[in-house]
Amino acid sequence: MNNLLIRNARIASMQSGSEKHFGLLEETDIRVTDGIIQEIGSNLSAQPNETVIEANGDWCLPGFVDCHTHLVYGGDRSEEFAQRLDGVSYEEISRRGGGIKSSVRATRNSSAEKLITQTLRRARRLREEGVTTLEIKSGYGLDEDTELKMLTVAGAVADKLDISVIKTYLGAHALPPDNDLRADEYIDFVCQVMIPKVAKEKLADAVDVFCETVGFSLKQTRRVFEAARDAGLPVKGHVEQLSDSKGAVLACEFQALSVDHIEYLQESDVATLAAAGTVAVLLPGAYYYLKETQKPPVQALREAGVDMAVATDMNPGTSPVASLLTCANMASLFFGLTVEEALRGITINGARALGLHDRGEIATGKRADLTLWDMPSPASLIYEINGYRPHTIIAGGKHVA
Ligand SMILES: [Zn+2]
């Protein structure tokens, strides 16, 4: 592994607890040894085995973390999108075999190789903006073989792009469309067959549930969370996206890593998140595509000291957005995050939403996931849409782009 010395950078460390804007550091040099930030200082001299990168005053930020995506899926739903704009109803599209059913069908029918190719295209878009850690969920197979295939494909993407991929089993995404299993019977299969299997084979790092009136009930969600706990896997939830179903409160009872969407979270339930140390994940891409008007209770979350993260929710139905920076911009404009909060949402708090404490900030002892930018200020990234790309991306100490 390369040892690196980055010299003369302006370091926006995003360190938690820093009083400075963007966790700005006085020091300008970063020494990376064996993939870890070993030293941060000024006028550091290069060791014989180090590659020197001259930053020439450019900004250095932590690699971004996209903590909620559905990046692996087969097919394409652009035709359906066009039909909807032509005035065709959701019900009619569903009757024609569209919607999530079409993604499930296409994902089942795609080979692993084909899924890898399709997923790599999307993952590259995210990486070129500086994403070095990516969460990917299953949930478009809803049968044993396809769910396992999706998780394996997610792992392959990490190897191909030299980034970190955190895998989440989301069997409880929807009911399988092609059989007459009742929801309770399908949840039996998720809890008794799939969760023990993905845990044993280390195919997933966490378990997720779509808890909603149109998804799974609170009772069914509890069963999935119990099975995950028994298998030693942490949980998270798609909760309070369309209604106040109290999924977030239930998730906190299981010390969930994160509760995601939460447009309908009641202010009176925010204290529960704070007490559980659960991260609130905001997904403005889905809010935008669904033309939602209900906003997450950001001010109450802020006042309670709940960490807020921002993610793309990249998926073929409700958030086909392959740009984490665009989502950070939307989180500021739609939900009222400050620029600082939006950037922390895709760095340190994104990492926390995945239970990762070794990244998301530039500090000694952390993973060397670093990006270099020629731009006026870190605020430029939230201010301009599609304005900047990092010219250098380092993931785990490796110069990947
Ligand atoms: Zn999602």
pLDDT of residue 226: 98
Measured in Å, residue 383 CA sits from the centre of ligand 1 at: 25
Measured in Å, residue 353 CA sits from the centre of ligand 1 at: 14
The SS3 call for residue 93 is helix
Contact of 131 with 62, CB cutoff 8 Å: no
For residue range 260-274, what is the model confidence (pLDDT) as tens digits? 999 999 999 999 999
Measured in Å, residue 178 CA sits from the centre of ligand 1 at: 22
285-288 long-range CB contacts below 8 Å, 24 or more apart? 285/312, 285/313, 285/314, 285/318, 285/319, 285/320, 285/321, 285/326, 285/327, 285/330, 286/241, 286/261, 286/313, 286/315, 286/318, 286/319, 287/263, 287/330, 287/334, 287/335, 288/319, 288/321, 288/330, 288/334
Contact of 280 with 297, CB cutoff 8 Å: no
Q: Angle at which helices 112-128 and 144-161 pack, to 10 degrees?
A: 40
- Extents of the domains making up the chain: 3-63+361-399, 64-353
Question: What is the residue whose two structure tokens read 């059989």?
Answer: 179
Mean pLDDT of all residues in 183-210: 97
For residue range 2-35, what is the model confidence (pLDDT) as tens digits? 799 999 999 999 998 888 999 999 999 999 999 9
Measured in Å, residue 87 CA sits from the centre of ligand 1 at: 25
Measured in Å, residue 315 CA sits from the centre of ligand 1 at: 7
Contact of 31 with 80, CB cutoff 8 Å: no
Q: Identify the CATH number of the domain defined by range 3-63+361-399.
A: 2.30.40.10
Nearest residue to 263 (alpha-carbon basis) of 210, 350, 335: 335
Residue-averaged pLDDT of the chain: 96
Measured in Å, residue 360 CA sits from the centre of ligand 1 at: 21
Measured in Å, residue 238 CA sits from the centre of ligand 1 at: 6
Mean pLDDT of all residues in 221-231: 98
pLDDT of residue 93: 86
Look up residue 106 and give its amino acid.
Answer: A
Measured in Å, residue 137 CA sits from the centre of ligand 1 at: 8
Measured in Å, residue 59 CA sits from the centre of ligand 1 at: 31
Measured in Å, residue 285 CA sits from the centre of ligand 1 at: 10
Measured in Å, residue 313 CA sits from the centre of ligand 1 at: 5
Separation of alpha carbons 336 and 310, rounded Å: 12
Separation of alpha carbons 374 and 355, rounded Å: 31
**What secondary structure letter does DSSP report for 314?**
-
Q: Ligand 1 (ion): which residues have CB within 5 A?
A: 313
For residue range 108-128, what is the model confidence (pLDDT) as tens digits? 999 999 999 999 999 999 999
Structure tokens at 210: 């779509």
Contact of 343 with 273, CB cutoff 8 Å: no
Measured in Å, residue 201 CA sits from the centre of ligand 1 at: 24
What is the side-by-side strand order in the sheet with 206-210?
Answer: 64-66, 131-137, 164-172, 206-210, 235-239, 258-261, 279-282, 308-310
Q: Which CATH number applies to 64-353: 3.40.1450.10, 3.40.50.620, 3.40.1360.10, 3.20.20.140?
A: 3.20.20.140
Measured in Å, residue 385 CA sits from the centre of ligand 1 at: 23
pLDDT of residue 73: 98
Contact of 161 with 123, CB cutoff 8 Å: yes
Q: How far is CA 257 from CA 58, 206, 322, 343, in A?
A: 34, 9, 23, 19
Separation of alpha carbons 51 and 214, rounded Å: 54
Mean pLDDT of all residues in 205-223: 96
Look up residue 10 and give its amino acid.
Answer: R
Separation of alpha carbons 63 and 262, rounded Å: 26
pLDDT above 70 (res 1): no
Measured in Å, residue 181 CA sits from the centre of ligand 1 at: 23
pLDDT of residue 17: 84
Structure tokens at 24: 């700005």
Measured in Å, residue 327 CA sits from the centre of ligand 1 at: 14
Contact of 310 with 301, CB cutoff 8 Å: no
For residue range 350-395, what is the model confidence (pLDDT) as tens digits? 999 999 999 999 999 999 999 999 999 999 999 999 999 999 999 9
Mean pLDDT of all residues in 147-173: 97
For 154-212, what is the HEC assignment?
HHHHHHHHCCEEEEEEEEECCCCCCCCCCHHHHHHHHHHHHHHHHHHCCCCCEEEEEEC
Measured in Å, residue 216 CA sits from the centre of ligand 1 at: 14
Q: Angle at which helices 100-109 and 144-161 pack, to 10 degrees?
A: 80
Measured in Å, residue 335 CA sits from the centre of ligand 1 at: 18
Structure tokens at 289: 């595509």
Structure tokens at 145: 């073989």
Nearest residue to 50 (alpha-carbon basis) of 102, 6, 112, 19: 6
Measured in Å, residue 13 CA sits from the centre of ligand 1 at: 28
Measured in Å, residue 114 CA sits from the centre of ligand 1 at: 22
For residue range 333-351, what is the model confidence (pLDDT) as tens digits? 999 999 999 999 999 999 9
Question: pLDDT band at 181, cuts 50/70/90?
Answer: confident
pLDDT of residue 339: 97
**Residues of the chain above pLDDT 90, percent:** 93
Measured in Å, residue 69 CA sits from the centre of ligand 1 at: 6
Q: How far is CA 292 from CA 153, 198, 264, 296, 385, in A?
A: 32, 34, 11, 11, 21
pLDDT above 70 (res 311): yes
pLDDT of residue 336: 98
Measured in Å, residue 70 CA sits from the centre of ligand 1 at: 6
Beta carbons within 8 Å of 110's beta carbon, 6+ residues apart: 74, 75, 118
Separation of alpha carbons 126 and 172, rounded Å: 26
